[in-house]
Structure 1
Amino acid sequence: MHRVLIVDDEPFIIEGLYYIIDWAGLGLTIVGHAANGEAALQQLAAQQVDILITDISMPVMGGLELIRRAREAYPSLKIVVLSGYDEFDYLKQAMRSGIENYLLKPVNVEELRSTMASTVDKLRTSVSDRWTDEDVDILRHAIVYRWLTGAISPRELKERATALELPILARHYLAALIRSSQPSESDYRAARACVHHPQTLVLPNLTGETIVLYAAEEPEDMKALALAQLKPLLTELEGPVYLALGTVVEGARAAQVTYEQALDAVQYRLLHPGGGVLDYEALHQQEGEGEADMPAWEVYARLIAMRDKLQLDEQIAADIQRLLTQPGMTPSGLRHAAVELIVRFKTELQQLRSLEEPELYREELQQAAASASVIELTQVVQRVAGQTIDALAKSVKSPVVEQVLARIAADYRQSLSLKTLGQEYKVHPVYLGQLFHKEMGESFTEYLNRYRIDQAKQLLRNSNSKVQEIAREVGYWETGYFYKQFKKHVGVSPMDYRELT
């Protein structure tokens, strides 16, 4: 383990740093902390320290003096500045002292983690303690990333771009993102090899893509240049590979816009599993405003009742593919449709087991909302479907009760009673009612009414049908009785429920 000493006069900053990242996972351990430079020098003399993280402004002895004296006494010590001061003079002085990075408060977790990982690599490979070309690149990348994410002022950007010789001060900008199936440093190196333009920057993104930022005085041909230089990567890198493009924007302040557009475009890889160019402008011209045409739940309910996992998997895959080709479909729309399906599986299971389970499928819901590919999205929904069937198989032991549940799911609109079902399944209706209540925790009539009311709630939310029509649709031929049952189960009338939702 490499040893870290933290120096800051604000106790809550020190406390936060202890827990903000997984130090042990990076091969690091915090061996102590100090409130000023003088106390830090005492600790450096008393124990081995590999990395010093220090603030600039502190009482007794400030960070710059600490860095100077620590550098003289411990030449191999790695130093990272974490400061609330964003003045350029501090950066220049710290750079001359040979620091690893200059991070601003409040700390960016990913930037801190990346800096620590890079510093550990240097310690492990015994890189000489000097400001190398690689060090300058890391600092350049940090400045550009802060610019693209709106975390740096125009004045500071201009100063640092000049000092670091960043070729980014131009009139127009275009951001592109390269995303392969297995993002790695080789993607970044390949992109750098493809780009031959004096005002273009290539840097790794924290989310796995490689950022290519074009800068030019005139907007003409910027997109054509990006396509000509970067499209070869679609076949060179490990596929599927995506090239996402923002739009050409004017002014340094708008660079964040083209970067965010490229980030938006790369999300469309969910709808284009084969890779290719994802042009923000073209994608949003095709985008529709309608909601996803959700599949009929009755099909799923029947397959669940039949415990047919294979056919259920096929149905899910077919429906997601159908949604994928729906005109105007967006990544968020497809994810939302998958989330709705999972919620329906959850509701179905809770209804059949008569239990409220808030944590049920929470992890799967999060996975569906963050899925990056159609295959991943499909597999999450299929896994939920399989778990639903398995849970029902464990929770309902009696075959005849399973038959009753399946019959309700398929024919809840019809007139159903224990007498008719008992005759059909050759079971005495009294015994059937007792068995149903024992295994389901409620009577047959209570379960049937609750199931019908749940279907009515969905129709009230998702259709414009009249209340009388909905009552008949879910099996109530007397509207007054439907109102009574609805208020009993929901607490409000059907009309009030529709207005509330």
Structure 2
Amino acid sequence: MFRVVIVEDEYIVRFGIRSMIDWESLGLMVSGEAANGQEALDLIRESPPDILITDIKMPIMDGITLITEVRKFRPHMKIVILSNLEDFQYAKEAIRNGVSEYMIKSDMMPRDLEATLLRVKEAIVEGAPSSENKLMQSVVVEPIVREKRWLELVEGKQLDPVRRQEILESLGLADVKLPLYMLHIAKNEWALSVEEGQALIRTALGEVMTASSESEDVYEAFPDRQGEMNVLLFERRMAVPGKDEVRLMAQAVRQYLKNHYSISCTIGVSSPTSSCSELHQAYEQATAAAKYKMFIGSERPILYGVDYVPASSQLADNIKVSTTHIHSMVYAFQTKELHAYLEDIFEQLTARKDYDIVEIISLELLILLTTLWSEVASDQQRILQLKKQYYEQLSKLETIQMSKSWFLQAFEALIAHMVGIYNSDRNGIIKAAQYMQQYYQQEISLQSISNLVHLSKNYFANLFKKEMGESFLEHLTRIRIEKAKALLTSELKTADIGHLVGIPDPKYFSKVFKKITGSSPSEYRNRVRGDN
């Protein structure tokens, strides 16, 4: 098992990287974490990993310096850079230092990270074979080469025609002109490692495919970079050709895996293609069909063009989540309104039927949910466990209906928790209001007043507005202006009055005073004197 170290200064990002994939199933383990380059360098010197995942911009020591230092004593370590789009100029320098992969954090999805790590792991194995691997090389090299060439074909949308022809000739398919089907076997949930799952799928294919055909040579099976198995069916060699036969075969494979190994999977099936040069298109169709389980259910074959028919045109409007609106509804305890809002979002997602958009929206909602919990709960260890639990639960949801139900229940639980602690926290708001009434002339910030009553800043701000009907700053400013109005009946200078009520800038004091009272301090003073 290969060791991985994660270096990222933002804890939530570090936690997300660690939680978004099943490391053990990839043959990897997270052996350490660090919040900056210096911590990472000390950790790597003490216990060098096989793979380093690092951010670029970090305090104390940035990612570029870390890579430079690591290369001095570990020149062949595999390194994956994580960064933002605006830091691409740094990526060029990282690439010069021998970085294996470069990923944009804002675009990174779990499957992308898995694919990257599998590529890096494959490069480690190829670059430094063990003595056992060398002894086995003469036995296994041909199947491995075939699988890599199949993978190159299905990923080769921009593959050079000359290279494609070379691959086809090496596979004995240079002149093949017959209908082909691609199957993509997507796991739903199982506890096996990637390698174990692939081995059992190969066994199931061997049992089912040979029993369904007069010839044993009816398919080719190979994993993609995500570790999912793909099967190419040669229709002409089947006993009974056509989509119905393909569906029956796919169902038989799925049922065999379920009955014999308790493996749950969904199988996406492409439309027939008559040329090996179009295998990349068949692969894209099969994977898209498998993802469609989110909308029609899992544990079944899904045929592209039959069960899954892509929309002829995308909806013009993007689906947007208003974090501010959700935030307000949560703090106002508006459970029904929040349910209706989330129902509408998931109705739009269901109508759009776009797997990637569902993942993006789900991630946005999850981040908002965990952020809100961090604001209202004092036990940060519990919050950490809750975040991990949420990530794990969400990763196992297979349909959009399951995701919708999960989010409705999760937000309802959050609001119920807030209602439970509301009465006790109201005393803190009363205490804060009394403090402002007494010490208005001093510098009072949102952070200092929330610390005084032992509440988080964001939670205090929202609870204060709910309880007092105005924001913390509006309330404090109103107190100061009321005190200023009383002082303006005296002979004190306007600038001095501003200092006395906690607004030392004369221009700002006049501006705020006029905004609230409708007149400048001097106009107000003259009017009061005239009235007297």
- Shorter-chain TM-score range: 0.3 to 0.5
Pick 1 or 2: higher relative contact order, CA cutoff 8 A, min separation 6: 2
With normalisation by structure 1, the TM-score equals 0.46
Normalising by structure 2, we get a TM-score of: 0.44
